[in-house]
Chain A
């Protein structure tokens, strides 16, 4: 497996080195950001479709807000094949198809004896193998179709169209991430760490089929909103275990305030947000699971739920110069109507967590504009961009293990839960536009180690390395 990983990585490096020549041959050097619109609409230029929450390379949450691409001067440029960071087919004014490939491979090692490792605590894994297309149609519709190779059960990732004629009221329909959680809606290629925060990965809903209105309101568009209805409450927690239940039709909304947007203030990038989801959850065992970043289970609730599932999230982000700091708090509660032994309501089953993370681009790139386009890329006379990252986080399910009344009975008044506190230290190397390598060192502390992946070892360290090629 290790050899396979190295071969794949080397092949990807060669591919990445190749397009540099091709790119040089394509005039003009327009910095088309991933998914950035080519529409002349001023609203659309400042609000790329990835803000809708779909997982794309260059998501505006984490990625930059780039200047609009210049309007093509010649009509002839509207037709034909182009290479601008990636293959692109132009089919007339405002209509294009961009072809995308994404590969992520991981190497990990942990000091805990987890299930599934190969005996010495090490693993090699292909995290993502995605291909897809995106683009726009006559400047008023964005679209994306992306599939995960090798996932036979659920191959589709983002499959949606976004009607963006009116920037204050765009409509997106299809399969995409529900508008909840900053970290969850950050593209996997733009993450500051190898893995998302536990609270986003486990408590945020993820993708589902639905329709959503979104846009920017008020002066300078400092208020951004997203409000949608979805078939179910996302695929993050969902399992193939039919005994476990998840939320049904879900209403999700998110509001993001960026009070100094499009000003020259130091805090122009400062943003605060709040989000919610609400859905009915049928009677049954909750589908929530506690899993570490290496997918080792530390909590598998047996608790019976029934009623409403509510999520509430708060987020904040600030990216001054080469620095960034962001934080989130998420709370998920599942009602337990009529679930006590004597058929009365029990207190909701609550899971919650938070994280605070920060980054520093040592090579000086602006975090808000994105490090995926380094000032001095590898193979073009430079070394790329280097960034340090640190994150503190905690997620907790149910009551703490110390609560003497806590029980793991399905109808317990106080649900015996578990928690994971983690500190992640990382280095990110953005070799060039396509290649990124991340190294993380994670210290996990499992609150109730008996339920954790390594009962004799409540505290353990993991080392993770991710190679990423995205085009």
Chain B
């Protein structure tokens, strides 16, 4: 009996130790999902650990796409041996790094909350820090597949790097979530000299250099690029009577017109009808199909002006200018614009601001403390607050100005 009483505290201590150890263990990643990370209403905190030599090299060689090893910590989840690299086009810089984090770069099949990769956007070209998040949110409201986005405070080696956007990568995981399948061919458009949908010739090389495969990378050039070649050849052919039938075999024209319309409402200056030709999109072709669709990407340059023309550079783009000649597609374009205007003004009550303005206020409140603390941002804190005011003005004016433009164009026709 005595020995039992002696042992009892030992057993109790052992159980306590086991429980303490168990509670100290990180919660498995499966207990949380990507929705929490990409929740736009919460300021996230992401911590990257990168060897100081690698960090120096990333900054020195920020224009290169070289991957380096990093550990990523979010809440109590630590992802080891992720691959991280500098990213972006005009936003690339050594001070506030734009980063892409690939979780399966070095560990086959590794996922973070089910995601293969994320983009840590440095919000370098946007004084309001909210163009991207708002634009993608509108795409989603309009029923179009778009990456989810949230904001985070990024730390590298425990040093605050500033306010960042967390952007869901357009990859197989994204395709499965938004389109319900991911077996097809996904391409990321790589901007070069201005391209407005012109036919690039019989050789597949110019198509290869513009459309970088994100899936089926090992397939032959013919499998990868012939449908793109055929689409552009047909889109540039002269026979108006059969143009639409031939082109629709290769591209979803209503979807294309819808995306252009939403970008147009957003006064997007660097999209499908961008100032430097087509830009910032993915192309997706389901397996077993020749028909391709567009997916939006990188909307930093949206919200340019409230009075931005809804047909800005519309005549330059081969595909759009010819599609616009068809009355049903033209009407679709106007309908989407009107829907976007309506959606942005939609409010919970009569006196409350519209959805777009409410979102601007909400995001401004969410990010302001981090913006003030961000020493690496390219705009001043004052410029941020001024941009928020400009954004509110955009939200109030843009729907009306878009409707006016639609009326004028319809009136002319």
Give the B-binding residues of A (Cβ under 8 A): 283, 338-343, 407-413, 416
Given contacts A341-B69, A341-B70, A341-B71, contact A409 B83 (CB under 8 A): yes
Q: How far is the CA of A338 from the CA of B80 in the complex (A)?
A: 17
Contact of A411 among B51, B105, B107 (CB under 8 A): B51
Contact of A412 with B70 in the complex, beta carbons under 8 Å: no
Q: Nearest chain B CB to A228's CB is how many angstroms away?
A: 33
B81 within 8 A of A: yes
Contact of A409 with B107 in the complex, beta carbons under 8 Å: yes
Contact of A407 with B71 in the complex, beta carbons under 8 Å: no
| Contact residues, B84-129 vs A (CB, 8 A) | 105-107
Convert B51-63 into 0s and 1s, putting 1 for each residue whose CB lies closer than 8 angstroms to a CB of A: 1111000000000
Given contacts A412-B69, A412-B106, contact A407 B51 (CB under 8 A): no
Closest residue of A by beta carbon distance from B107:
A407
Q: How far is the CA of A341 from the CA of B157 in the complex (A)?
A: 9
B71 / chain A contacts, CB cutoff of 8 Å: 341-342
Given contacts A341-B71, A412-B106, contact A407 B53 (CB under 8 A): no
B301 within 8 A of A: no
Q: Nearest chain A CB to B88's CB is how many angstroms away?
A: 23
A343 / chain B contacts, CB cutoff of 8 Å: 51-52
Contact of A410 with B69 in the complex, beta carbons under 8 Å: yes
- Could you give 29 example pairs across A and B, Cβ below 8 Å? A283-B53, A338-B51, A340-B51, A341-B69, A341-B70, A341-B71, A342-B49, A342-B51, A342-B71, A342-B157, A343-B52, A407-B80, A407-B106, A407-B107, A409-B69, A409-B81, A409-B83, A409-B105, A409-B107, A410-B68, A410-B69, A410-B106, A411-B51, A411-B69, A411-B81, A412-B69, A412-B81, A412-B106, A416-B106
Q: Nearest chain A CB to B107's CB is how many angstroms away?
A: 5
Q: Nearest chain B CB to A110's CB is how many angstroms away?
A: 23
Most buried by A among B68, B70, B81, B83: B81
B53 / chain A contacts, CB cutoff of 8 Å: 283
Q: How far is the CA of A413 from the CA of B49 in the complex (A)?
A: 14
Closest residue of A by beta carbon distance from B157:
A342
Q: How far is the CA of A409 from the CA of B83 in the complex (A)?
A: 8
Q: Nearest chain A CB to B178's CB is how many angstroms away?
A: 30
Q: Nearest chain B CB to A465's CB is how many angstroms away?
A: 35
Contact of B52 with A407 in the complex, beta carbons under 8 Å: no
Q: Nearest chain A CB to B282's CB is how many angstroms away?
A: 27
B142 within 8 A of A: no
A341 / chain B contacts, CB cutoff of 8 Å: 49-51, 54, 69-71
Lowest 9 CB-CB distances: which A-B pairs, in order?
Answer: A409-B106, A409-B81, A411-B69, A407-B81, A409-B69, A341-B49, A407-B107, A407-B106, A341-B71
| Contact residues, B345-365 vs A (CB, 8 A) | none
Contact of B51 with A339 in the complex, beta carbons under 8 Å: yes
- Taking A339-B51, A407-B80, A409-B83 as given, write out 7 further A-B residue pairs in contact, using a Cβ cutoff of 8 Å, ordered by the A residue number: A341-B50, A342-B51, A407-B81, A407-B106, A411-B51, A412-B106, A413-B80
Q: How far is the CA of A409 from the CA of B106 in the complex (A)?
A: 5
Q: Nearest chain A CB to B217's CB is how many angstroms away?
A: 15
B69 / chain A contacts, CB cutoff of 8 Å: 341, 409-412
B106 / chain A contacts, CB cutoff of 8 Å: 407-410, 412, 416
A338 / chain B contacts, CB cutoff of 8 Å: 51
Q: How far is the CA of A131 from the CA of B157 in the complex (A)?
A: 58
Closest residue of B by beta carbon distance from A401:
B108
Most buried by A among B49, B83, B106: B106
Q: Nearest chain B CB to A11's CB is how many angstroms away?
A: 45
Q: How far is the CA of A339 from the CA of B49 in the complex (A)?
A: 12
Closest residue of A by beta carbon distance from B52:
A343
Q: How far is the CA of A411 from the CA of B52 in the complex (A)?
A: 12
Convert B33-77 into 0s and 1s, putting 1 for each residue whose CB lies closer than 8 angstroms to a CB of A: 000000000000000011111100000000000001111000000
Q: How far is the CA of A341 from the CA of B52 in the complex (A)?
A: 8
Closest residue of B by beta carbon distance from A408:
B106
B49 / chain A contacts, CB cutoff of 8 Å: 341-342
Q: How far is the CA of A409 from the CA of B51 in the complex (A)?
A: 12
Most buried by B among A283, A410, A411: A411
B80 / chain A contacts, CB cutoff of 8 Å: 407, 413
Closest residue of B by beta carbon distance from A342:
B49
B107 / chain A contacts, CB cutoff of 8 Å: 407-409
| Contact residues, B139-188 vs A (CB, 8 A) | 157
B68 / chain A contacts, CB cutoff of 8 Å: 410
Q: Nearest chain B CB to A189's CB is how many angstroms away?
A: 43
Closest residue of B by beta carbon distance from A283:
B53
A411 / chain B contacts, CB cutoff of 8 Å: 51, 54, 69, 81
B70 / chain A contacts, CB cutoff of 8 Å: 341
Most buried by B among A340, A341, A342, A412: A341
Q: Nearest chain B CB to A455's CB is how many angstroms away?
A: 12
Q: How far is the CA of A341 from the CA of B68 in the complex (A)?
A: 9
Q: How far is the CA of A342 from the CA of B80 in the complex (A)?
A: 12
B51 / chain A contacts, CB cutoff of 8 Å: 338-343, 411
A407 / chain B contacts, CB cutoff of 8 Å: 80-81, 106-107
Q: How far is the CA of A48 from the CA of B81 in the complex (A)?
A: 53
Convert B197-223 into 0s and 1s, putting 1 for each residue whose CB lies closer than 8 angstroms to a CB of A: 000000000000000000000000000
Q: Nearest chain A CB to B100's CB is how many angstroms away?
A: 15
Q: How far is the CA of A380 from the CA of B61 in the complex (A)?
A: 70
Q: How far is the CA of A412 from the CA of B69 in the complex (A)?
A: 8
Closest residue of A by beta carbon distance from B82:
A409
Q: How far is the CA of A338 from the CA of B71 in the complex (A)?
A: 15
Closest residue of B by beta carbon distance from A340:
B51
Closest residue of B by beta carbon distance from A410:
B69
Q: How far is the CA of A283 from the CA of B51 in the complex (A)?
A: 13
Closest residue of A by beta carbon distance from B68:
A410
A410 / chain B contacts, CB cutoff of 8 Å: 68-69, 106
Q: Nearest chain B CB to A79's CB is how many angstroms away?
A: 65
Closest residue of A by beta carbon distance from B51:
A341
Q: How far is the CA of A338 from the CA of B81 in the complex (A)?
A: 16
Q: How far is the CA of A446 from the CA of B195 in the complex (A)?
A: 48
Q: Nearest chain B CB to A399's CB is how many angstroms away?
A: 13
Q: How far is the CA of A408 from the CA of B69 in the complex (A)?
A: 10
B52 / chain A contacts, CB cutoff of 8 Å: 343
Q: How far is the CA of A383 from the CA of B83 in the complex (A)?
A: 62
Q: Nearest chain B CB to A202's CB is how many angstroms away?
A: 23
Q: How far is the CA of A283 from the CA of B83 in the complex (A)?
A: 20
Q: How far is the CA of A123 from the CA of B83 in the complex (A)?
A: 39
Q: Nearest chain A CB to B112's CB is how many angstroms away?
A: 14
Q: Nearest chain A CB to B65's CB is how many angstroms away?
A: 15
Closest residue of B by beta carbon distance from A450:
B108
Closest residue of A by beta carbon distance from B84:
A341
B81 / chain A contacts, CB cutoff of 8 Å: 407, 409, 411-412
Closest residue of B by beta carbon distance from A407:
B81
B83 / chain A contacts, CB cutoff of 8 Å: 409
Q: Nearest chain B CB to A308's CB is how many angstroms away?
A: 19
A339 / chain B contacts, CB cutoff of 8 Å: 51
Q: How far is the CA of A442 from the CA of B6 in the complex (A)?
A: 65
